[in-house]
Structure 1
Amino acid sequence: MNIADVKDLMAQFDASSLREFSFKTPEGELSFSKNEQAAEPSAPVQVPAISAVAQAPVSETIPVNISEEVSNDTSAIEGEEVVSPLVGVAYLAPSPDKPAFVSVGDAVKKGQTLLIIEAMKVMNEVPAPHDGIVTEILVDNEEIVEFGQGLVRIK
Protein backbone atom coordinates (compact mmCIF):
# COMPACT_ATOMS: atom_id res chain seq x y z
CA MET A 1 0.00 0.00 0.00
CA ASN A 2 1.47 3.35 -0.96
CA ILE A 3 1.19 6.65 0.89
CA ALA A 4 -1.46 7.99 -1.52
CA ASP A 5 -3.73 5.03 -0.65
CA VAL A 6 -3.20 5.64 3.06
CA LYS A 7 -3.97 9.36 2.68
CA ASP A 8 -7.11 8.52 0.71
CA LEU A 9 -8.28 6.10 3.43
CA MET A 10 -7.57 8.72 6.11
CA ALA A 11 -9.59 11.37 4.25
CA GLN A 12 -12.53 9.01 3.77
CA PHE A 13 -12.41 7.95 7.43
CA ASP A 14 -12.26 11.57 8.59
CA ALA A 15 -15.32 12.47 6.49
CA SER A 16 -17.30 9.44 7.68
CA SER A 17 -19.30 8.99 10.88
CA LEU A 18 -17.24 5.91 11.82
CA ARG A 19 -15.48 6.04 15.20
CA GLU A 20 -12.96 3.24 14.48
CA PHE A 21 -11.64 1.54 11.35
CA SER A 22 -9.11 -1.27 10.85
CA PHE A 23 -7.69 -2.51 7.56
CA LYS A 24 -5.41 -5.53 7.12
CA THR A 25 -3.35 -6.51 4.10
CA PRO A 26 -0.50 -8.98 3.65
CA GLU A 27 1.81 -5.93 3.80
CA GLY A 28 0.57 -4.72 7.19
CA GLU A 29 -2.30 -3.38 9.25
CA LEU A 30 -3.85 0.08 9.50
CA SER A 31 -6.12 1.30 12.32
CA PHE A 32 -7.88 4.64 12.66
CA SER A 33 -9.80 5.86 15.72
CA LYS A 34 -11.68 9.05 16.56
CA ASN A 35 -12.10 7.97 20.18
CA GLU A 36 -10.60 10.10 22.92
CA GLN A 37 -8.43 7.35 24.40
CA ALA A 38 -5.16 6.95 22.57
CA ALA A 39 -4.17 3.39 21.80
CA GLU A 40 -0.57 2.47 22.42
CA PRO A 41 1.20 1.46 19.19
CA SER A 42 2.68 -2.02 19.03
CA ALA A 43 5.96 -0.65 17.67
CA PRO A 44 7.55 2.77 18.23
CA VAL A 45 6.43 5.31 15.66
CA GLN A 46 8.52 8.32 14.73
CA VAL A 47 6.54 11.45 14.00
CA PRO A 48 8.32 14.49 12.58
CA ALA A 49 8.04 17.57 14.78
CA ILE A 50 6.06 20.48 13.42
CA SER A 51 7.75 23.73 14.29
CA ALA A 52 5.06 25.97 12.76
CA VAL A 53 2.85 25.48 15.79
CA ALA A 54 5.54 26.75 18.14
CA GLN A 55 6.03 29.83 15.99
CA ALA A 56 2.34 30.78 15.87
CA PRO A 57 1.64 34.20 17.39
CA VAL A 58 0.09 34.19 20.85
CA SER A 59 -3.10 36.20 21.05
CA GLU A 60 -3.46 38.74 23.81
CA THR A 61 -5.78 37.66 26.60
CA ILE A 62 -8.26 39.98 28.24
CA PRO A 63 -8.81 39.45 31.98
CA VAL A 64 -12.45 38.93 32.90
CA ASN A 65 -13.87 39.05 36.39
CA ILE A 66 -16.28 36.13 36.63
CA SER A 67 -16.41 35.80 40.40
CA GLU A 68 -19.86 37.43 40.56
CA GLU A 69 -21.29 35.07 37.92
CA VAL A 70 -19.84 32.00 39.62
CA SER A 71 -21.16 32.93 43.05
CA ASN A 72 -24.67 33.53 41.67
CA ASP A 73 -24.73 30.25 39.71
CA THR A 74 -23.45 28.04 42.54
CA SER A 75 -26.40 28.89 44.78
CA ALA A 76 -28.82 27.58 42.12
CA ILE A 77 -26.91 24.32 41.53
CA GLU A 78 -28.02 21.58 43.90
CA GLY A 79 -27.65 17.85 43.61
CA GLU A 80 -25.63 15.29 41.70
CA GLU A 81 -25.40 15.55 37.94
CA VAL A 82 -26.40 12.45 35.95
CA VAL A 83 -24.19 12.38 32.86
CA SER A 84 -24.74 10.81 29.46
CA PRO A 85 -23.22 7.34 29.11
CA LEU A 86 -23.04 7.69 25.31
CA VAL A 87 -23.45 10.00 22.32
CA GLY A 88 -26.94 10.18 20.87
CA VAL A 89 -30.29 11.97 20.82
CA ALA A 90 -31.99 12.58 24.18
CA TYR A 91 -35.73 11.98 24.48
CA LEU A 92 -37.47 13.20 27.64
CA ALA A 93 -40.65 11.16 26.97
CA PRO A 94 -41.29 7.62 25.70
CA SER A 95 -43.11 9.05 22.64
CA PRO A 96 -44.24 12.49 21.45
CA ASP A 97 -47.82 11.99 22.72
CA LYS A 98 -46.80 10.69 26.18
CA PRO A 99 -45.82 12.74 29.26
CA ALA A 100 -42.16 13.24 30.17
CA PHE A 101 -40.41 10.55 32.24
CA VAL A 102 -39.57 13.11 34.95
CA SER A 103 -40.08 16.82 35.63
CA VAL A 104 -38.33 19.25 37.95
CA GLY A 105 -39.50 18.57 41.50
CA ASP A 106 -40.38 14.90 40.90
CA ALA A 107 -39.24 12.30 43.42
CA VAL A 108 -37.35 9.46 41.72
CA LYS A 109 -36.29 6.01 42.89
CA LYS A 110 -32.97 4.34 42.11
CA GLY A 111 -33.21 2.68 38.66
CA GLN A 112 -36.20 4.75 37.50
CA THR A 113 -35.89 5.90 33.88
CA LEU A 114 -34.99 9.59 33.65
CA LEU A 115 -34.82 9.82 29.85
CA ILE A 116 -33.87 7.80 26.77
CA ILE A 117 -30.83 8.27 24.53
CA GLU A 118 -31.14 6.96 20.99
CA ALA A 119 -27.85 5.78 19.49
CA MET A 120 -27.63 3.79 16.26
CA LYS A 121 -31.43 3.17 16.27
CA VAL A 122 -31.22 1.66 19.77
CA MET A 123 -33.15 3.27 22.63
CA ASN A 124 -30.99 3.31 25.79
CA GLU A 125 -32.70 4.12 29.10
CA VAL A 126 -30.77 6.36 31.51
CA PRO A 127 -31.67 5.26 35.06
CA ALA A 128 -31.57 7.31 38.26
CA PRO A 129 -28.36 6.44 40.16
CA HIS A 130 -30.08 6.90 43.56
CA ASP A 131 -33.31 8.02 45.19
CA GLY A 132 -33.86 11.77 45.21
CA ILE A 133 -35.60 14.82 43.83
CA VAL A 134 -35.05 16.14 40.28
CA THR A 135 -33.74 19.69 40.72
CA GLU A 136 -32.83 20.46 37.10
CA ILE A 137 -33.19 19.01 33.60
CA LEU A 138 -30.11 20.07 31.66
CA VAL A 139 -31.11 19.01 28.12
CA ASP A 140 -34.02 19.63 25.80
CA ASN A 141 -36.12 16.98 24.11
CA GLU A 142 -34.48 15.66 20.91
CA GLU A 143 -31.19 17.42 21.74
CA ILE A 144 -27.97 15.71 20.61
CA VAL A 145 -25.91 14.86 23.68
CA GLU A 146 -22.23 13.99 24.05
CA PHE A 147 -20.59 11.37 26.26
CA GLY A 148 -20.22 12.78 29.77
CA GLN A 149 -22.60 15.70 29.18
CA GLY A 150 -24.90 16.55 32.09
CA LEU A 151 -28.50 15.41 31.57
CA VAL A 152 -30.37 15.73 34.87
CA ARG A 153 -29.49 16.92 38.37
CA ILE A 154 -30.80 14.96 41.38
CA LYS A 155 -30.45 15.80 45.09
Structure 2
Amino acid sequence: MNISEVKELMAQFDASSLKEFSFKTVDGELAFSKNDHQLGQAPLPPVSTPTFVATPVVATTQEEDPEAAQAISKEETPAVAEGEEVPSPLVGVAYLASSPDKPAFVSVGDSVKKGQTLLIIEAMKVMNEIPAPRDGIVTEILVTNEEVVEFGQGLVRIK
Protein backbone atom coordinates (compact mmCIF):
# COMPACT_ATOMS: atom_id res chain seq x y z
CA MET A 1 0.00 0.00 0.00
CA ASN A 2 1.49 3.33 -0.99
CA ILE A 3 1.19 6.66 0.83
CA SER A 4 -1.49 8.04 -1.51
CA GLU A 5 -3.70 5.01 -0.79
CA VAL A 6 -3.18 5.52 2.95
CA LYS A 7 -4.06 9.22 2.65
CA GLU A 8 -7.21 8.34 0.68
CA LEU A 9 -8.25 5.83 3.37
CA MET A 10 -7.61 8.46 6.06
CA ALA A 11 -9.78 11.03 4.23
CA GLN A 12 -12.63 8.55 3.76
CA PHE A 13 -12.40 7.46 7.41
CA ASP A 14 -12.41 11.07 8.63
CA ALA A 15 -15.54 11.85 6.57
CA SER A 16 -17.36 8.70 7.73
CA SER A 17 -19.40 8.03 10.87
CA LEU A 18 -17.11 5.13 11.81
CA LYS A 19 -15.38 5.36 15.18
CA GLU A 20 -12.73 2.73 14.43
CA PHE A 21 -11.39 1.08 11.28
CA SER A 22 -8.65 -1.48 10.59
CA PHE A 23 -7.21 -2.81 7.36
CA LYS A 24 -4.92 -5.83 7.31
CA THR A 25 -2.78 -7.21 4.49
CA VAL A 26 0.11 -9.62 4.36
CA ASP A 27 2.41 -6.56 4.47
CA GLY A 28 1.01 -5.16 7.71
CA GLU A 29 -1.95 -3.63 9.45
CA LEU A 30 -3.38 -0.12 9.43
CA ALA A 31 -5.85 1.03 12.08
CA PHE A 32 -7.66 4.32 12.65
CA SER A 33 -9.62 5.38 15.73
CA LYS A 34 -11.65 8.49 16.54
CA ASN A 35 -12.13 7.35 20.15
CA ASP A 36 -10.66 9.48 22.92
CA HIS A 37 -9.26 6.33 24.56
CA GLN A 38 -9.08 2.59 24.13
CA LEU A 39 -10.70 0.16 26.52
CA GLY A 40 -8.55 -0.41 29.58
CA GLN A 41 -6.39 2.67 29.01
CA ALA A 42 -6.47 6.18 30.40
CA PRO A 43 -8.15 8.73 28.11
CA LEU A 44 -5.95 10.51 25.61
CA PRO A 45 -5.85 14.31 25.56
CA PRO A 46 -8.45 15.90 23.24
CA VAL A 47 -7.26 16.15 19.66
CA SER A 48 -8.90 18.04 16.80
CA THR A 49 -7.94 15.40 14.23
CA PRO A 50 -8.52 11.64 14.41
CA THR A 51 -6.09 9.61 16.50
CA PHE A 52 -4.32 6.91 14.49
CA VAL A 53 -3.46 3.83 16.50
CA ALA A 54 -1.66 0.68 15.31
CA THR A 55 -3.76 -1.80 17.28
CA PRO A 56 -6.26 -4.38 16.04
CA VAL A 57 -9.77 -2.93 16.06
CA VAL A 58 -13.13 -3.71 14.50
CA ALA A 59 -15.01 -1.24 12.32
CA THR A 60 -17.96 -0.04 14.40
CA THR A 61 -20.46 2.75 14.11
CA GLN A 62 -21.23 5.20 16.88
CA GLU A 63 -24.46 3.38 17.66
CA GLU A 64 -22.83 -0.02 18.35
CA ASP A 65 -21.68 -0.97 21.80
CA PRO A 66 -18.28 -2.56 22.61
CA GLU A 67 -19.80 -5.99 23.34
CA ALA A 68 -21.36 -6.13 19.87
CA ALA A 69 -18.03 -5.10 18.30
CA GLN A 70 -16.24 -7.91 20.14
CA ALA A 71 -18.86 -10.42 18.98
CA ILE A 72 -18.39 -9.26 15.36
CA SER A 73 -14.62 -9.52 15.75
CA LYS A 74 -14.87 -13.14 16.90
CA GLU A 75 -17.22 -14.05 14.05
CA GLU A 76 -15.05 -12.44 11.33
CA THR A 77 -11.79 -14.12 12.35
CA PRO A 78 -10.84 -16.14 9.27
CA ALA A 79 -9.76 -19.75 9.69
CA VAL A 80 -6.16 -20.36 8.66
CA ALA A 81 -5.69 -23.19 6.22
CA GLU A 82 -3.41 -26.03 7.25
CA GLY A 83 0.04 -26.48 5.82
CA GLU A 84 3.40 -24.84 5.29
CA GLU A 85 3.64 -21.49 3.50
CA VAL A 86 5.86 -21.33 0.44
CA PRO A 87 7.58 -17.91 0.71
CA SER A 88 8.45 -15.72 -2.23
CA PRO A 89 12.19 -15.88 -2.96
CA LEU A 90 12.13 -12.46 -4.64
CA VAL A 91 10.17 -9.28 -5.30
CA GLY A 92 8.12 -9.23 -8.49
CA VAL A 93 4.75 -9.85 -10.12
CA ALA A 94 3.10 -13.22 -9.49
CA TYR A 95 1.43 -15.08 -12.34
CA LEU A 96 -0.71 -18.13 -11.55
CA ALA A 97 -0.65 -19.41 -15.16
CA SER A 98 1.89 -19.40 -18.00
CA SER A 99 -0.37 -17.13 -20.08
CA PRO A 100 -3.86 -15.57 -19.73
CA ASP A 101 -5.48 -18.26 -21.90
CA LYS A 102 -3.85 -21.19 -20.07
CA PRO A 103 -5.12 -22.88 -16.87
CA ALA A 104 -3.49 -22.10 -13.52
CA PHE A 105 -0.41 -24.13 -12.58
CA VAL A 106 -2.14 -25.32 -9.39
CA SER A 107 -5.50 -24.96 -7.66
CA VAL A 108 -6.62 -25.52 -4.08
CA GLY A 109 -6.90 -29.27 -3.50
CA ASP A 110 -4.33 -30.21 -6.15
CA SER A 111 -1.68 -32.76 -5.27
CA VAL A 112 1.83 -31.47 -6.08
CA LYS A 113 5.22 -33.15 -6.34
CA LYS A 114 8.51 -31.64 -5.17
CA GLY A 115 9.86 -29.40 -7.94
CA GLN A 116 6.48 -28.92 -9.68
CA THR A 117 5.86 -25.29 -10.74
CA LEU A 118 3.39 -23.54 -8.43
CA LEU A 119 3.46 -20.12 -10.11
CA ILE A 120 5.79 -17.69 -11.87
CA ILE A 121 7.26 -14.47 -10.50
CA GLU A 122 8.39 -11.90 -13.05
CA ALA A 123 11.29 -9.77 -11.88
CA MET A 124 13.22 -7.45 -14.19
CA LYS A 125 11.59 -9.04 -17.28
CA VAL A 126 12.76 -12.52 -16.19
CA MET A 127 10.16 -15.20 -15.55
CA ASN A 128 11.13 -17.21 -12.45
CA GLU A 129 9.31 -20.50 -11.86
CA ILE A 130 8.55 -21.13 -8.19
CA PRO A 131 8.79 -24.88 -7.48
CA ALA A 132 7.02 -26.85 -4.77
CA PRO A 133 9.51 -27.44 -1.93
CA ARG A 134 8.00 -30.87 -1.18
CA ASP A 135 5.21 -33.26 -2.09
CA GLY A 136 1.80 -32.36 -0.71
CA ILE A 137 -1.64 -30.90 -1.32
CA VAL A 138 -2.31 -27.21 -2.01
CA THR A 139 -4.58 -25.98 0.79
CA GLU A 140 -4.53 -22.26 -0.02
CA ILE A 141 -3.29 -19.87 -2.70
CA LEU A 142 -2.27 -16.69 -0.89
CA VAL A 143 -1.78 -14.36 -3.89
CA THR A 144 -3.85 -13.31 -6.88
CA ASN A 145 -2.82 -13.27 -10.51
CA GLU A 146 -0.63 -10.26 -11.38
CA GLU A 147 -0.23 -9.29 -7.72
CA VAL A 148 3.04 -7.62 -6.74
CA VAL A 149 4.72 -9.81 -4.13
CA GLU A 150 7.48 -9.02 -1.64
CA PHE A 151 10.44 -11.13 -0.58
CA GLY A 152 9.32 -13.65 2.04
CA GLN A 153 5.59 -13.11 1.39
CA GLY A 154 3.54 -16.33 1.48
CA LEU A 155 2.52 -17.51 -1.99
CA VAL A 156 0.92 -20.93 -1.54
CA ARG A 157 0.21 -23.17 1.46
CA ILE A 158 1.02 -26.89 1.08
CA LYS A 159 -0.05 -29.62 3.53
- 2:115 maps to 111
Superposition CA RMSD, Å: 2.7
* Distance in 1 (alpha carbons) for counterparts of 2:148 and 2:55: 33
Q: After superposition, where does 1:1-150 map in structure 2 within 5 Å?
A: 69=74, 72-73=77-78, 75-150=79-154
**Which stretches in structure 2 are left out of the alignment for 5+ residues?**
1-50, 59-69
Aligned residue pairs total 97
**Residues 114, 65 of structure 1: CA spacing in aligned structure 2 closer, same or farther, 3 A cutoff?**
same
The answer to whether residue 157 in structure 2 is matched with residue 153 in structure 1 is yes
Cα distance, 1:115 vs. partner? 0.1
How many percent identity over aligned positions? 74
Distance in 1, matches of 2:54 and 2:131, equals 42
Structure showing greater radius of gyration is 1
Deviation at 1:150, TM superposition (A): 0.7
> Moved runs in structure 1, 4+ residues, more than 3 A?
59-73
**Counterpart in 2 of 1:46?**
none
> Offset at 1:103?
0.3
Cα deviations by residue, 1:60-107 (Å, 9 ceiling, x for unpaired):
85975789649943x432100001000000000001111000000000
TM-score normalised by the chain length of structure 2: 0.53
Closer, same or farther: CA 121–60 of 1 in aligned 2, 3 Å: closer
